Chain A
Amino acid sequence: MARPLVATEPSRSSTVDAAVETPRRRCQLGRRRALLGWLYATPTAAMVGLFFLVPLVLVGWMSLHRWPLLGEPKLNFPDNYTGAADNDLIRDAAWFTAKYTVVITVLLFVLAFALALLVQRRRRGVGFFRTAFILPMAVGFASASLLFLGMLSDEIGPVNKFLASLGLIDGYTSWTSGSPNSALGSAVLLVLWRFAGFMMLILLTGLQAIPVELYEAARVDGASRWQTFRQITLPLMRPTIALVLTLMITGSLLAFDQFWILTRGGPDNSTTSLVMVIYREAFVRLDLGSAAGISMLLLLVLVVFNVVQFAVLRRRSS
């Protein structure tokens, strides 16, 4: 953003200097400036266009059609959308995804914030803990899911053997598919382990951006720790919190890997997320139109959440 300004600076001063400048020349300069702006924006615009706008329009277009893998698509609007409304699996998956989003957002936020507060100040050993908390990010999410599947397996995993030695469980126990709650619990545990450090990092940058003087002033005024947290930390953290919540909510609404690998959506479809249904429509039923329709509906929900987030951010900056 800064470079175009620098580049156009001389032309502006020359316009001021020379009153004899013809309007034509001024117009040319303006055009050159605009062209330059366009040029600078082109790489980003091309990327956004190619990898976001084109697929988005294509998915929207697909959602209006019966779209076979090979051969000509046929317009069938609004079948893909009415079909989604009639589908029990989608209804259950939407409900589950919403429930999961609430559970994860609350737990992950509390955990990440607690970790961030814990390692906020510079003191001995804090670097070790910061590194330890962020380290799970180094494992790919799919690999992490497989890792948990192995660890929690009654057949090959160490977790059950350890719990049995403590006398906490007796005999065969399946965490990932024994009951709906334990299946959800194991996925939640995985996500907390994998993402708490990353969310902590974002919150930490927010915390460290708060000027120390404010805390000092609060201390001088005799504010308690809780009051400082309520009156200074929280309000100044609002944009960061909004960002973190948006990331968490968007990520949870798009949950796939953890359930696909860890629970396969079971037991009894109790952990089937919306993206898994989209996957099933596209790659099992080979109904690309229907998959596109559900994707558009999910996108709508995501847009609503993001609008809310922007509203919160704007309120802050004004």
Chain B
Amino acid sequence: MRTRAALAVLVLGLATACGSDSGGGSDGPVTLTLWTRAATEAVSKAYAEAYNKTHDNKVEVTAFPNEEYPAKLASSARSLPDLFAADVVFAPQYASQGLWLDVTDRFQGLDVKDKVAPAHVKAGTWEDRNYAVPHTIDMSVMLYNKDLYTQAGLDPNKPPATLTEFAEHARAIDKLGGDVNGTYFGGNCGGCVEFTFWPSVWAAGGAVLDDDGQNATIDSPEMAEVFALYRQLYEEGVAAPASKDEAGPTWLGALQNGKIGIAPGPSVWLGLIEEQSDVDMGVAPIPGIDGGESTFVGGDAIGIGATSENADAAWDFLAWTMSDEAQVEVIAKNKGVPTRTDLAENKYSAEDPRIVTINSLMAKGETPYARNFNASFNDPQSPWLETVRGALFGEADKALSDGNSAITESLQQGS
């Protein structure tokens, strides 16, 4: 990698020295534009900063508000940036629409291709061609407040091994009373629920979608059990009452105030929760009803904009982001999850055993794959959110069976 970069520098230097004035700009160092959503901005900027220090080409990051980002991409389809990242669950849609350049040959030529987060690579694949590679990884885990565990007489070093046990722990902590609640979830947020509930379904051997993302299987007994458990926690008042209306924006705030015993949430929030309130947080895998563990491998995938004129330079950056150097010195150093399975344990993760727990989950987790994922699951007007609301606060059985057909219909739309 380095020799290639050095060679490029040399060639470029010679070209400049010879006073090459061929114009076009393709020979000189280029500035690559990279778009990302606000949630990923910090990581993208850290990558860019490190890359810019050691490379002639420069990467310039522009971030957009999370909710407006898909619209921004859609409305810029004919003038895309050189690189753009997107929520990994939207990757199949963008790949199928041809918004990313086909990078199959480039990716297959990468030494580490078999060690790059497989769930993300699959998400960036459309009709057996690769369009995107992982950019950042965010996984769902159980986050629990060790101080509240101790106060409730629970062992803070023994997180729940089953979802049933999770409910018992939440109830025990809820009994502390006052402002304290046992648990919390985003009951008015499709994305939050899929991210935190589906791992329990997967851990129990259930499925949510078929492999092609054309049919939903959310009317399974595994899904019904998970919903029933959370529903009961809400009805008992163990889950904070705001769980019903949580649409996402105040989710982090609720976990940050240190009054929630244990809740599934994004692994990247571990640092954010601890820096906000002076609490000692524990991390555990999300279990199934009777055991097992899994995670939703979320985060962002990134590809080269289909209209980019700097594809080679853009790929050079992408290849670099998957290198040991970038993954250890940029990602792991900042307590992030490496996008490489072989780097789960590295010189930085050893400092915090919780990070090893998180990193090692990647191999067990899943990233659901569907072309119409956003419209079917994440959008506030999606049939999934309607299903979630019914399953948690309305007629559960009917919601799941009706929802399954509505989601399947939505998944197949336009195909």
Interface residues, chain A, CB within 8 Å of chain B?
68-71, 89, 153-156, 171-172, 174, 176-178, 264-269, 272, 276-277, 279-280, 282-287
Q: Are A154 and B242 in contact (CB under 8 A)?
A: yes
Q: Are B74 and A69 in contact (CB under 8 A)?
A: yes
Q: Given the known A-B contacts A171-B241, A280-B379, are A286 and B74 also in contact in the complex, defined by CB atoms under 8 Å?
A: yes
> Given the complex of chains A and B, what is the CA–CA distance between A26 and B254 in angstroms?
82
A-B contacts, 12 of them at CB < 8 A, read A68-B98, A70-B98, A70-B306, A153-B250, A155-B250, A265-B380, A266-B188, A267-B389, A268-B386, A269-B386, A272-B381, A285-B414
Question: How far apart are A73's CB and chain B's nearest CB, in angstroms?
Answer: 13
Partner of A284, one of B99, B242, B375, B385: B375
Looking at the complex, which one of A156, A266, A282, A285 makes contact with B413 (CB distance below 8 Å)? A285
Among the listed A174, A269, A284, which residue makes an inter-chain contact with B245, where contact means beta carbons less than 8 Å apart?
A: A174
Complex CA distance for A233 and B169, rounded to whole angstroms: 70
* Apart from A264-B247, A267-B188, A286-B93, 7 more pairs, CB < 8 Å: A69-B78, A70-B98, A265-B381, A267-B389, A280-B375, A284-B379, A285-B413
| Size category, B interface | 20 to 34
Alpha-carbon separation in the docked complex, A285 to B383 (Å)? 13
| Contacting residues, chain A, for B70 (C-beta < 8 A) | 283-284
A155 and B188: CB pair below 8 A? no
Q: Which 10 A-B pairs have the closest CB atoms?
A: A69-B77, A283-B71, A172-B241, A174-B245, A177-B245, A264-B380, A285-B375, A284-B379, A283-B74, A70-B98
Q: Is the pair B242, A70 in contact by a Cβ cutoff of 8 Å? A: no
Q: Mark B362-405, 1 if CB is under 8 A from A, else 0.
A: 00000000001011000111000110010000000000000000
The answer on a CB contact under 8 Å between B77 and A177 is no
The distance from the CB of B76 to the nearest CB of chain A, in whole angstroms, is: 9
B381 touches A280 (CB 8 A): yes
Residues on the B chain within 8 Å of A69, using CB: 74, 77-78, 97-99
Report how far A79 CA is from B188 CA in the complex, Å. Answer: 32
**A153 and B380 alpha carbons, distance in the complex (Å):** 19
Closest to B374 in A: A284
Q: Which residues of A contact B389 (CB under 8 A)?
A: 267-268
B3 located at the interface, meaning its Cβ lies under 8 Å from any Cβ of chain A in the complex:
no
Cα A287 to Cα B306 in complex, Å, equals 19
Q: How far is the CB of A246 from chain B (nearest CB, A)?
A: 29
Report if B29 contacts A (CB, 8 A): no
Query: B415 in the interface, Cβ–Cβ < 8 Å?
Result: no
Which of the residues B78, B247, B372, B414 comes within 8 Å of A70, measured between beta carbons?
A: B78
B242 partner, pick from A89, A155, A285, beta carbons under 8 A: A155
| B244 cross-chain contacts in A, Cβ below 8 A | 174
Complex interface: chain A residues within 8 A of B379 (CB): 280, 284
A177 and B247 contact, CB distance less than 8 A: yes
Chain B residues whose C-beta falls within 8 Å of the C-beta of A267 in the assembled complex: 188, 245, 389
Known contacts A69-B74, A268-B386; decide if A172 and B242 are in contact (CB<8 Å).
Answer: yes
Taking the nearest CB of chain B, how far is it from the CB of A64, in angstroms? 17
Question: Which residues does chain B contribute within 8 Å of A153, judged by CB atoms?
Answer: 250
- Interface membership of B205, Cβ < 8 A: no
| Contact between B414 and A287, CB atoms less than 8 A apart | yes
User: Using Cβ atoms and an 8 Å threshold, which residues of chain A touch B241?
Assistant: 171-172
A282 touches B74 (CB 8 A): yes
The reply to whether the CB of B75 lies closer than 8 angstroms to some CB of chain A is yes
Known: A69-B77, A70-B98. A269 touches B381 (CB 8 A): yes
Chain B residues in 8 Å Cβ range of A265: 380-381
Contacts of B99 in A (CB 8 A): 69-70
Q: How far is the CB of B199 from chain A (nearest CB, A)?
A: 25
| A171, A264, A279 pick with most chain B CB within 10 angstroms | A264
